[in-house]
């Protein structure tokens, strides 16, 4: 199978500012990804894409550890302005453009971020390969936007949903509504867990 793994962003500002050994920490998290996620696809053709920020230390680290097929940036202004979902949507636009430029038909897409620490292996996750997999549904009815896995035939509908979020000024946590409106079946990988704070689940945590 051909798998596209697309990473957006990098470690949050407070992690960089507060941890002088942040590159060692980033290496530790990379090893976590290799063990918990990438090892599952060791027999597949995997292409890795990055949409990140132009910071030399991270550029060198990610390029050497992942050998990405595409490694591009959005403006560093998005990293420092605290624009939240605006920067997320810029990353998605960038990743989509980079993937489409390759003109490859992937069997599956995995979209996530490089500052997640996984506690659960991909093989142990509640993945439905025929649906658009989202970590969980928020109590608000919106959804998590840190880890998505879906089959290749949903890629164009995913693009359409991202375009709708941008056009209407919606946040990325609202993508489940656009996907459902566009006929995509969603699999929420885990229910909301009141006892798992701050994210509400036990699949991963954000390094912040």
Q: What is the pLDDT of residue 11?
A: 67
Is the model's pTM score more than 0.75?
A: yes
Exposure on the CB side of residue 136, measured as CA atoms within 13 A: 16
Domain count, the chain: 1
Do residues 149 and 204 make contact, with C-beta atoms less than 8 angstroms apart? no
Q: How far is CA 127 from the centre of its chain?
A: 15
Residue 81 has what pLDDT?
52
Domain of residue 31 covers 2-206
Residue 20: per-residue pLDDT: 58
Closest CA to 99 of 8, 196, 190: 8
Give the pLDDT of the chain (208 residues) as one tens digit per residue.
999 999 998 766 555 555 557 788 889 999 999 999 999 999 999 999 999 988 888 899 999 999 999 999 887 666 555 455 677 888 999 999 999 999 999 999 999 999 999 999 999 999 999 999 999 999 899 999 999 999 999 999 999 999 999 999 999 999 999 999 999 999 999 998 877 767 778 999 988 6
CA distances from 142 to 99, 145, 164, 191 (A): 26, 9, 15, 13
Looking up residue 117, the CATH number of its domain turns out to be 3.90.550.10
88: burial class by Cβ within 10 Å (0-12, 13-18, 19+)?
Answer: buried
pLDDT value of residue 47: 98
């Amino acid at each position: 199978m051909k798998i596209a793994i697309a990473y957006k962003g990098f470690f949050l500002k407070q992690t960089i500012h507060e941890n002088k050994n942040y590159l060692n920490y980033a290496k530790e998290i990379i090893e976590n990804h290799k063990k918990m996620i990438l090892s599952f696809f060791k027999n597949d053709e995997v292409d890795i894409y990055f949409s990140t920020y132009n910071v030399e230390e991270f550029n060198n680290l990610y390029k050497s550890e992942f050998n990405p097929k595409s490694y591009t940036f959005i403006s560093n202004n998005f990293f420092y302005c605290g624009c939240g979902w605006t920067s997320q949507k810029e990353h998605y636009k960038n990743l989509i453009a980079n993937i489409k430029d390759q003109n490859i038909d992937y069997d599956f897409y995995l979209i996530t971020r490089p500052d997640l620490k996984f506690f659960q292996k991909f093989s142990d996750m509640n993945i439905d390969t025929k649906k658009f997999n989202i970590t969980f549904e928020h109590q608000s009815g919106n959804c998590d936007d840190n880890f998505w896995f879906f089959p290749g035939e949903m890629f164009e509908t995913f693009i359409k949903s991202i375009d709708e979020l941008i056009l209407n000024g919606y946040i990325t946590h609202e993508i489940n509504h656009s996907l459902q409106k566009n006929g995509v079946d969603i699999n929420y990988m885990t229910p909301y867990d009141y006892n798992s704070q701050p994210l509400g689940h036990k699949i991963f945590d954000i390094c912040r």
